[in-house]
Amino acid sequence: MSEAEDSHVFNIDKSNFSGWFSEILKTADLVDLRYDVKGFVVYRPWLMRMAKELYSSWEKELESRGHDPTLFPVVIPEENFEREKDHVEGFSPEVFWVTRAGDSDLEERLALRPTSEAAFYTLYSLWIRSHSDLPLKLYQSCAVYRYDTKATKPLIRGREFLWIEAHDVFETEDQALAQVESDIETTRAILEGLLGIPMLFFRRPAFDKFPGAVDTYAADALMPDGRAVQLPSTHNLGQGFAKSYGIIFEDAKGEKRIPHQTCYGPPISRSLAALISIHGDRKGLVLPFPIAPTQVVIVPIIYRGHREAVLEKCHELAEALKQAGLRATVDQSDRNPGMKFYYWEMKGVPVRAEIGPRDLESGAVTLVRRDTGEKTQVNFEKCLEAVRGMGMDIVDKLRERASEELHDHIAEADDMESLSDHLASRGGFVRIPFCSRDFDGEECAERIKELTDGEVRGTIFGDDQVPENLECVVCGEPATCFVMVARSY
């Protein structure tokens, strides 16, 4: 085995998750961390193709739910940025500022967008005049910039990250709340449906909500080291931003009213990190079929005298798969078949097809699943159908496996010791009785953080159960709700 070949073999147990994650980013050529600015990474083609697929799927889903695309500038004038008090307080410490251009100082410094409420809503106040302008539902796909002072981690916590942001305006609060539910469905369709990532949906505590929002709802997935990672969040903004930015509409009766707003932020970078981490295994990436840059790799098994015939059949299969809209490729490199298997397994390609002289005779193709390693012989003519079925089944199985893992990491505790033990030994989510229904229990949450390194993630969306005769695990006051605690990214 030459050195170059050896470098494509991946064999790291995921129980050392942090090491596994760093290595797979490098070995699979996903990101390059050697760019000279902390928290900024380079997306390499294999990852960028996934990012593009994910963007496109999410955009389609948003459009099918009445959103239109737009694009706002990357810079926000400081004055506009400062109109909503809580918002600016929350984000100011994290803003990158453009202060100079060419050889001159700018008259007013410009924020690199950390999020775009201040950009969108300045123009929403011009666009919205009457109830016939509502609902207004726009999204943009872009990168945002946050000078996060915590330790950065590629794709999970960066100073530049890719996301979509949707900004919606409604006549009534009911419509806004319905949009929150619609956003949750969108999240499910993409992350659970397409990528097989199961999540828990939370209403976040008041002290952890989006600056300026009435309520923040967010989905957490479980990473292999037992930590929670926040995926999309959706915010009920109430009327606060509308008041600050002067967004007013005339209702059907001719009266001036203040609309209700929501915003939704599906993270592309983080979803890719979750995807890589949750499904990957000792051999490398395991990619869900819908997002894999190459869905089927065809490996010719060549024996002397059969080269041309085997290659011809391989290309015939690739063509048939491509015609049907699948992403297929023939690996015609010089490496031997064994090395090709290792390489494409490491890259996470969901289905491998092998064609050798014996398959030519029997008119068959050998299909191998990346997730289970299972081999199937199928008739050449049935190959497309078999690959499609396998593709769907792979997503289902990945989701199932991840879902078991998630539910296996949900526990209950009703005192601090048992909470602490759970978090230290197994990680995951621990449900505890908590003192405050209205989430003003920030002191108790801080105490939990101090003692266990766990964070109060909020109540499960729709979990209205009221604890009976239980006490808050921290202060001992009567518990009024159940919250989940987890260590997190």
The residue ranges that bind a second copy (CB under 8 A) are 32, 34-37, 40-45, 48-49, 51-52, 68-75, 77, 79-80, 92-103, 109-110, 112, 119, 122-123, 126-127, 138, 143, 145, 147, 149, 160, 162
Provide the minimum distance between the beta carbon of 141 and a second copy in the complex, in angstroms, as a whole number. 9
Contact 486, 200 (CB under 8 A): no
Convert 73-93 to b/e letters by CB count within 10 Å (16 or more is b): ebbbbbebbbbbeebbebbee
Which of 70, 418 has the CB closer to a second copy? 70
Provide the minimum distance between the beta carbon of 345 and a second copy in the complex, in angstroms, as a whole number. 21
How many Å apart are CA 108 and CA 87, to the nearest integer?
Answer: 19
Provide the minimum distance between the beta carbon of 240 and a second copy in the complex, in angstroms, as a whole number. 21
Provide the minimum distance between the beta carbon of 143 and a second copy in the complex, in angstroms, as a whole number. 6
Which of 69, 476 has the CB closer to a second copy? 69
Place of tokens 């989006």: 210
In one letter, which amino acid is 266?
Answer: P
Residues composing the chain:
489
How would you classify the pairing of strands 228-238 and 328-330? unpaired
Provide the minimum distance between the beta carbon of 100 and a second copy in the complex, in angstroms, as a whole number. 4
User: Maximum distance among all alpha carbons in the chain?
Assistant: 84
Q: Is there a cis peptide before residue 135, judged by omega within 30 degrees of 0?
A: yes
Nearby residues of 284 by Cβ (< 8 Å), 6 or more positions away: 10, 24, 27, 28, 345, 346, 347, 348
Provide the minimum distance between the beta carbon of 396 and a second copy in the complex, in angstroms, as a whole number. 27
Which of 70, 488 has the CB closer to a second copy? 70
In one letter, which amino acid is 378?
Answer: V
Which of 79, 385 has the CB closer to a second copy? 79
Distances (CA, A) of 293 to 49, 161, 290, 337, 345: 6, 21, 9, 21, 13
Which of 49, 437 has the CB closer to a second copy? 49
Which of 179, 459 has the CB closer to a second copy? 179
How many Å apart are CA 402 and CA 57, to the nearest integer?
Answer: 21
Which of 40, 461 has the CB closer to a second copy? 40
Provide the minimum distance between the beta carbon of 132 and a second copy in the complex, in angstroms, as a whole number. 9
